[in-house]
Amino acid sequence: MAADNQRGALFRNTAPHQHSRVTYAELFFDLVFVFAVTQVSHTLLGRLTPPGLAQTTLLFLAVWWVWVYTSWITNWLNPELTPVRILLFALMLGGLVLSTSIPQAFETRGLWFALAYAAMQVGKTVFLWVSTPRWRTPARMNAIRITAWLSASAVFWIAGGFAEGNSRLLLWAVALGIEYLSPAVRFWIPKYGASEVADWVVEGGHMAERCAGFIIIALGESIVVSGATFAELAWTLETVGAFASAFVGAIAMWWIYFHKGAEAGSEQISRSSEPGRLARLAYTYLHMPIVAGIIVSAVADELVLKRPAGHSGPATVLSAIGGPLLFLLGTILFKHTIRGFLQLSHGVGIIALGLLAWFAGDLSPLTLSIATTAIMIIVAVWESLAGIGGNTGSVRDHRRMNRRLQDALWKARRKERRGCERRQAKQSCAPLKRAATRSS
């Protein structure tokens, strides 16, 4: 088997420029994180205080990080093979323990959360290390470096599980800081140094599709939460309006992300000469605010459904404005990384949300929800119209590139012409020089 696959027996055997599809085993694994995202949103809903926000943010960052690391592992390894499938199923069990521990992670189930998280992170990286052939030295050293960093963070996770209160929050924040810093410093360790970006060989199309799948998970969770809440309420004009606003808002978010960004990202990372660097920035880091924005918007939808009338409280304003704002900030940075320019529509949407925040407290929750949904619809429509007329930024970039190529070609031809003229001049002067030499 190893002879048939030059990358290693358990690694994906992808031909150049070939897109590796997302396997059914990976989709099955993702079902656990539907539950995890639901747990995070429900925990946030019950803890809309400064300490609660800090705790829920940490839990969300942990859930995202354990999922995205698994996506990197399955980008390298082949989930169609039995050992890798068993790894994913074991990670699913760990993910269930992790997810069920989220609501009480800062109370009675902190140690369970920490043990599940550390076991998932270190376990799958050790599996990658053992699965990497010895003759693939750069990839093997990369796995060793990652294992070293995750093992260091695991100490703080487990120590935090034994601690209580603010001590647990501090220890877990240190653990999470270690893990989020590690890719930025390319997993540097003493004696062996840092890994090269070239060692992070990723199949770009697969990575883009995996992250797009997580966006679908988050959007689907928001619709499920809204539907479940709406089913338990009396169907009045206000609750129907709130549910319609939540549903249309989710569609607008889907449109903003998938209409251009997802496909452009997949194409760009597939053509990139450094797909590992692009995957680290665009998909590992910049997708976090996008997913966080969807989760916070789901919390806002539930708050509005339960209390659509009256003045909007601080929690409703924070979630109703903060969710779309996080989402647009994430998408504008993601698309800037992919396309090389900032989306004007997204920038206008961010400014509009900022202006709306000034008087949001005077609006009813339903009116505030409709206003934020209207802003997201405007951004989505603007994005579509820009696509119909041709992407202005993209056309401008192509024209600029064409001009540069034409200038470079013209300079090369002029240089070549001058060289020919010099050679011709030397050849025409050669008989005169020889005659002058003979006469002297």
> 3-state SS string over the chain?
CCCCCCCCCCECCCCCCCCCCCCHHHHHHHHHHHHHHHHHHHHHHCCCCHHHHHHHHHHHHHHHHHHHHHHHHHHHECCCCHHHHHHHHHHHHHHHHHHHHHHHCCCCCHHHHHHHHHHHHHHHHHHHHHHCCCCCHHHHHHHHHHHHHHHHHHHHHHHHHHCCHHHHHHHHHHHHHHHHHHHHCCCCECCCECCCHHHCCCCHHHHHHHHHHHHHHHHHHHHHHHHHHHHCCCCCHHHHHHHHHHHHHHHHHHHHHHHHHHHHHHHHHHHCCCHHHHHHHHHHHCHHHHHHHHHHHHHHHHHHHHCCCCCCCHHHHHHHHHHHHHHHHHHHHHHHHHHCCCCHHHHHHHHHHHHHHHHHHHCCHHHHHHHHHHHHHHHHHHHHHHHHCCCHHHHHHHHHHHHHHHHHHHHHHHHHHHHHHHHHHHHHHHHHHHHHHHHC
Q: What percent of the chain has pLDDT over 70?
A: 80
Q: Is the entire prediction scored with pTM above 0.85? A: no
Range in 4-13, 195-204, 353-362 the model is least confident about: 4-13
* pLDDT at 331 > cutoff 90: yes
More confident residue, 108 or 280: 108
Q: How confident is the model at residue 2 (pLDDT cuts 50, 70, 90)?
A: very low
* pLDDT at 327 > cutoff 60: yes
Q: How confident is the model at residue 401 (pLDDT cuts 50, 70, 90)?
A: very low
The tens digit of pLDDT for each residue in 292-308 reads: 999 999 999 999 999 99
Range in 197-201, 242-246, 361-365 the model is least confident about: 197-201
* pLDDT at 146 > cutoff 60: yes
* pLDDT at 398 > cutoff 50: no
Task: Output the pLDDT for position 207.
Answer: 85
Q: What value does the mean pLDDT take over residues 206-219?
A: 90
Q: What percent of the chain has pLDDT over 90?
A: 59
* pLDDT at 5 > cutoff 60: no
Range in 175-189, 352-366, 423-437 the model is least confident about: 423-437
Q: What value does the mean pLDDT take over residues 338-345?
A: 84
Instruction: Give me the chain's average pLDDT, please.
Output: 84
Task: Output the pLDDT for position 266.
Answer: 67
More confident residue, 15 or 243: 243
* pLDDT at 422 > cutoff 50: yes
Task: Output the pLDDT for position 391.
Answer: 43
Range in 13-22, 53-62, 353-362, 380-389 the model is least confident about: 13-22
Q: What value does the mean pLDDT take over residues 171-187?
A: 94
Task: Output the pLDDT for position 81.
Answer: 93
Q: What value does the mean pLDDT take over residues 245-268?
A: 85
Task: Output the pLDDT for position 426.
Answer: 53
